[in-house]
Amino acid sequence: MTFSENYLTTCACWQCRMTRIDAVRFQGQDIVPIQFLKALLPDPASLGPLTKGRTCIGVLAHGREERQGEGAFVYNICDHEACYREVKSQAISYTTGVPPRSARK
C-alpha cells in the first residue's frame, strides 16, 4: 500500500504522544491519549458509504535469498463503492476479510 506524505507525517506525530495508553495530565484532568483520539475521530464504519475510488494492495515476492529470481507482484484491486454495496464495508476491510472467509467455504 502507498500513503501520502501528509498521512505518514500525521501518523508519526500521533505515535510520539497520541497512541499512549497511560494517563497524562491535560488541563487539570487525567486522560488516556489513545482513548481521547478515538473519541475525536469518526467511527470507521461510518466512512463506508462516503468512500470513493479504488484500493490496490499487493506484495512483491522474491525467492528466499535477497532479490533471487524474477519475483512476482501479487495484488488485489477493489472498488470502494462496489465493496460497500456487497458487504457494507470499505474495500480495505473487504480485501482483508473476504478472501480468508471465501477460503473457509
Q: Is there a single domain that holds both residue 9 and residue 24?
A: yes
Instruction: Give the closest residue to 91 by CA, choosing from 102, 99, 103, 79.
Output: 79
**pLDDT at residue 2, rounded to an integer:** 65
Question: How many helices and strands, by DSSP H and E, does the chain display?
Answer: 5, 4
With a cut of 60, say whether residue 104 has pLDDT above it: no
With a cut of 80, say whether residue 29 has pLDDT above it: yes
Q: Is 50 helix (H, G, I), strand (E, B) or coil?
A: helix
Grid cell for residue 2:
502507498
* Number of structural domains in the chain: 2
Q: Is there a single domain that holds both residue 26 and residue 69?
A: no
Domain that includes residue 70, residue range: 46-105
Q: Is there a single domain that holds both residue 36 and residue 74?
A: no
Q: Is there a single domain that holds both residue 57 and residue 98?
A: yes
- What's the pTM? 0.55
pLDDT in tens, 41-90: 888 778 888 888 998 888 888 777 766 667 788 888 889 899 889 888 88
Q: Is there a single domain that holds both residue 27 and residue 53?
A: no
With a cut of 80, say whether residue 39 has pLDDT above it: yes
Instruction: Give the closest residue to 55 by CA, choosing from 31, 81, 30.
Output: 81
For CA atoms 20, 95, 52, 6, the dihedral sign is: positive
With a cut of 90, say whether residue 8 has pLDDT above it: no
| Better-scored residue on pLDDT, 37 or 27 | 27
